[in-house]
Structure 1
């Protein structure tokens, strides 16, 4: 059955292979050397990570969740029907997004190896697929713009940096561990940084060491963000990134989905490139307003990838569905002829979103029918936004590269510093104004008798006086929830946490999408570095025919 499925996939791929290609599209026939390099990237990274796993192959209950994940793998291998049996609740099916474990189980059966060996080989395979996907995507992004790097060797070298920034590079916590272990930095700095494990005074410099000796010190890199409840209790925030996850070796869904995330980004780029370079066509039409840029086969391929992300790691489905539709919209706005009719084409964006969403759900309907999430819904995080210092420790290397690129582009475009300050003040004052308006509206409605005076009025008065809500005096949590210090946290008035509203939105969203954000920022940082280093003119016509590399 597995061999038949692989044969069908290969047959469909060959059948869908385009026979002709516009001159301004990315070359369909890649140079043989590029193909060989891509295969070499997979082989080298796979063998390399097999060696890493060989030094720590244990599947144990301490220091991770491997023992729970191999239970899923064994349950799938032992199930005669689908959905597979739940190893934790006899008689029930797995209520989890288990597609990644199903793929590993297929490879396990195909390779005829024990699940314990397949588990470690699976981690090495995921690492190799991620590195290969990053190389391929970066290579094609660079090849798309002949004004930056024109020769094949330079493109390949640039592509090889993709795995480095996406899968290998970590955050700055490791550097901070070294500095703290060596006794560098005043105690006030470490207390202000407030990262668990290194928030205390360091040892004297004369007694320090350049090698951290604290037990499990490298684990802290995945716990950089430190949150607190309104009443002062600590809240653990997990902020893993690809390199940490690969070293840890847990087969989490976000790790299983990473190669397919890169595939979704490649599909988004493909759609953007075709439309932005004049290859726009209406592939499917329902009416004047309901049109698609994808043929039926292309729609199925896009939906197969995006819907599969929902089966692999559910949060990735809406994220990369938005990325694909945003790429489509951005390509339209890039062309003046479409930018002038952006409102008219908004219906096409919405229809593409709905078509991909519905098709992606239908293709994996058997999973969704039996899936029951333990999540109880979605609520905004109202009291512990990410502190800017900890955000920079987490994403510092990538944000620095992107910030230098933005500053360079702003300088070339003639953007002045006072304009940035002005817009930041406008956004800040607008936010404060909206808050004052809402509070004033509540007071006004209370005066009119629309809202009972014992409701919001009492709440507002308690907040102004720093008192608990009437009737809830015995609950310290309720008192803290309405404190003015909480409002200061919400508005980020403290100097260490100050940031423009736009940056603040990015920081809060980063808590939700740590792994996707790291992948995206890694690719952005790499591309911006290449643009800054090459520093060549980029004002050539975008629809100029591209020569074969």
Structure 2
């Protein structure tokens, strides 16, 4: 795809996002005040998502979800709510969004390929949604199955954005993470503004800061090509990602997509806590409904998040209620808060009724984290907390004894987190950053003591729990730690107020360095196509597949396809992943994790695929068994099977550069 087409795709994508945000923004001005503009980014995306989701559930065109936004925009235009004098005041929010959007876009431009890790899955789900936007979406790796076994709402959101903006999936894939980062950044900047009088940008550091392990890997002599990866595999047999890695690595995966929604809910809870008493009842309802929408979207975007943020939401509601009761306020003053959890369930109730998945329950950790490894992951925040608590520790050193029971039980890492936790708890004054610190430290301790059992085996028993909990912990602790650090630095005599011109020059220099960095570090993994087309690399790396995939992506209808199977995290399953057309089986272990194998499909489907390619007397019958209409024969199929197709029953629909695509006759 030409550079001009890609530029138009970026423009169209941003136009849709800006329209959604601007349509909603005036509605939020009364309840969210100065934060209406930044909050409208995440809020409008979540509202657009639920509207398109119900369109998909009802089998209506998802484009209908734009109608309420058009009506809202027209209404506010009629009321003259878009005065230029007002919009000019919001330029800082827009600038933050665009800086981080284009910063991430630069990273994707340098390394756009859908070629490794979870990118095959991520694009496959995105392409499936765009090919057939129905609820539940079709599973591209399991012909006849749907994604009711997995949390797919993030793919749905960006798939629908691609549909309404006219951006194809191979480019939408590379615009999605920039959107996540841009929206998350402007929301965190709003949090910084809410919590700090000065140095409000400091919490944004959570997105560009490596963990301590990153620097440790350099010190011990690791090569630059492995430092980033190894820093996320620090705690033995676990994954401990942080935002800089997640965005740089580039998987459009649920745990990354969910970041914008996580920080949005944190913002809403902090805002409610700080401004509850000054809000009118209508305004409380609007903010609480937004909180319910955010919380209710979590099980569908990344289910692990709701296990963390549902209790956090309840805790914040309880704190507000307790404060209200001390002031003599009755039920009518906080009934809105009680409505958040049930509303969160009700808004996506059909999803829960369709869900077909299970978990193994909560189990006690018997092999906790090595304390040194724990600090290599969480050390920045622990260090900031302890430095800020030095005075308290000197005054009450006996509270350090809280670590003893954990150490005796063998949970030394938990003991490290327990020390600042207790000191924050016993403080008389509980500011919002300290409340966040308490919640984040509690999360670290819980992950040290318990894990959610899955089918990852004995060696990697904690992998998913640490993986899915440490990223929220990084966000919560990072916002807390840098908000506290910002407040400390802003005290008289510490960091003087910088003149506006010098501040602008410094900011421009830092932003410039950030934009240049992706071109200076080896992020391209030897592809380096310098494009926003995630499939452009096929032209040189897999020319046979390039034409075949392009042909299939232009088809319409409800096809299913047969392609070679070759395990997980490989180039196999590339046809279904690149087109969204369901294959008999894609990456089988992924499907096994989601579906189990109670019906014996695992071995049956793999054997049937081989028979389709190698036993001509069974080819047509087995294709009909799975309602497959297309048969793909490329280099991988010929390398994997002794291809022997029947003389009749198949019609060659495409043939070029060693790739043949057959359609079932009749």
Q: Give how far 1:387 is off.
A: 2.3
Q: Give how far 1:535 is off.
A: 2.9
2:294 is matched with: 305
2:136 is matched with: 83
- The one of 84, 94, 97 aligned to 1:42: 97
CA offset digits 1:279-335 (Å, max 9, x no partner): 377x49xxxxxxxx943x444322111101221111222422322332233345557
Contiguous gaps of at least 5 residues in structure 1: 143-148, 150-154, 182-211, 227-235, 285-292, 432-488, 538-549
CA contact (8 A) 1:167 1:243 kept: yes
- Secondary structure of 2:256's match? helix
2:126 is matched with: 73
Moved more, 523-532 or 107-116: 107-116
Within 5 Å, which residues of 2 pair with 1:138-149?
A: 138-142=192-196, 149=197
2:278 is matched with: 279
1:358 is matched with: 342
Structure 1 residues 262 and 238: alpha-carbon distance in aligned structure 2, compared to 1, 3 A threshold: same
Q: Tell me how far apart the structure 2 counterparts of residues 497 and 319 of structure 1 sit (CA, whole Å).
A: 18
Q: Tell me how far apart the structure 2 counterparts of residues 70 and 108 of structure 1 sit (CA, whole Å).
A: 12
1:220 is matched with: 230
Q: Tell me how far apart the structure 1 counterparts of residues 390 and 219 of structure 2 sit (CA, whole Å).
A: 30
Aligned pair count?
393
Within 5 Å, which residues of 2 pair with 1:315-394?
A: 315-333=304-322, 337-338=326-327, 355-373=339-357, 375-394=358-377
Report the TM-score when normalising by structure 1.
0.63
Q: Tell me how far apart the structure 2 counterparts of residues 334 and 415 of structure 1 sit (CA, whole Å).
A: 28
Q: Tell me how far apart the structure 1 counterparts of residues 344 and 216 of structure 2 sit (CA, whole Å).
A: 43
Q: Tell me how far apart the structure 1 counterparts of residues 351 and 255 of structure 2 sit (CA, whole Å).
A: 18
Q: Give how far 1:530 is off.
A: 1.5
Q: Give how far 1:354 is off.
A: 5.7
Q: Tell me how far apart the structure 2 counterparts of residues 352 and 221 of structure 1 sit (CA, whole Å).
A: 43
- Whether 1:507 aligns to 2:444 is yes
Structure 1 residues 215 and 261: alpha-carbon distance in aligned structure 2, compared to 1, 3 A threshold: closer
2:184 is matched with: 130
- Whether 1:18 aligns to 2:30 is yes
1:535 is matched with: 491
Report the TM-score when normalising by structure 2.
0.53
- Secondary structure of 1:216's match? helix
Q: Give how far 1:417 is off.
A: 1.4
Q: Tell me how far apart the structure 2 counterparts of residues 83 and 314 of structure 1 sit (CA, whole Å).
A: 16
Q: Tell me how far apart the structure 2 counterparts of residues 354 and 529 of structure 1 sit (CA, whole Å).
A: 33
Structure 1 residues 254 and 348: alpha-carbon distance in aligned structure 2, compared to 1, 3 A threshold: farther
1:108 is matched with: 162
- Secondary structure of 2:381's match? helix
- Secondary structure of 2:388's match? helix
Q: Tell me how far apart the structure 2 counterparts of residues 306 and 171 of structure 1 sit (CA, whole Å).
A: 28
Q: Tell me how far apart the structure 1 counterparts of residues 333 and 368 of structure 2 sit (CA, whole Å).
A: 35
CA offset digits 1:105-135 (Å, max 9, x no partner): 1221233222111111112221222222211
2:548 is matched with: none
Within 5 Å, which residues of 2 pair with 1:432-511?
A: 491-492=409-410, 499=416, 506-510=443-447, 511=466
CA contact (8 A) 1:130 1:163 kept: no
Q: Give how far 1:11 is off.
A: 5.8
Structure 1 residues 4 and 361: alpha-carbon distance in aligned structure 2, compared to 1, 3 A threshold: farther
CA contact (8 A) 2:154 2:257 kept: yes
Q: Tell me how far apart the structure 1 counterparts of residues 301 and 16 of structure 2 sit (CA, whole Å).
A: 22
Structure 1 residues 361 and 172: alpha-carbon distance in aligned structure 2, compared to 1, 3 A threshold: same
CA offset digits 1:18-67 (Å, max 9, x no partner): 28x9xxx878799867621211112122222222211111111x3x1101
Q: Tell me how far apart the structure 2 counterparts of residues 27 and 108 of structure 1 sit (CA, whole Å).
A: 28
- Secondary structure of 1:520's match? helix
Q: Tell me how far apart the structure 2 counterparts of residues 6 and 280 of structure 1 sit (CA, whole Å).
A: 27
- Whether 1:517 aligns to 2:500 is no
1:146 is matched with: none
- Secondary structure of 1:380's match? strand
CA offset digits 1:370-402 (Å, max 9, x no partner): 1222x4232223301222211110011122112
Q: Tell me how far apart the structure 2 counterparts of residues 88 and 111 of structure 1 sit (CA, whole Å).
A: 26
- Secondary structure of 1:309's match? helix
- Secondary structure of 2:303's match? coil
Q: Tell me how far apart the structure 1 counterparts of residues 371 and 16 of structure 2 sit (CA, whole Å).
A: 52
2:106 is matched with: 51
